């Protein structure tokens, strides 16, 4: 998602990311699958920290 962003913008985003990198497909996919499942009908978390995924 950020691969086509301007280098300065991408660098700024990465500095604000706790791991200092973006997530891989293998890291993000399980969360997406969960969020689309019936098991995600209730979540006590008001929002997920997508930038930390």
What are the tens digits of pLDDT across the range 5-37? Answer: 888 888 888 888 888 888 888 988 998 898 888
Residue 53: pLDDT band (50, 70, 90) is: very low
Q: What is the reported pLDDT for 11?
A: 86
pTM for this one?
A: 0.52
Q: How far, in Å, CA of 47 to CA of 53, rounded?
A: 12
Residue 48, pLDDT score: 66
Q: Where are the alpha helices (DSSP H) in 1-53?
A: 7-15, 25-36
- pLDDT(52) > 60: no
Does the pLDDT at position 44 exceed 80?
Answer: no
């Amino acid at each position: 998602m950020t691969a086509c962003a301007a280098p300065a913008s991408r660098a700024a985003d990465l500095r604000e990311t706790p791991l200092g990198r973006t997530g891989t497909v293998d890291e993000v996919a399980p969360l997406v699958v969960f969020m689309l499942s019936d098991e995600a009908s209730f979540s006590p978390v008001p929002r997920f920290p997508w930038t930390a995924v």
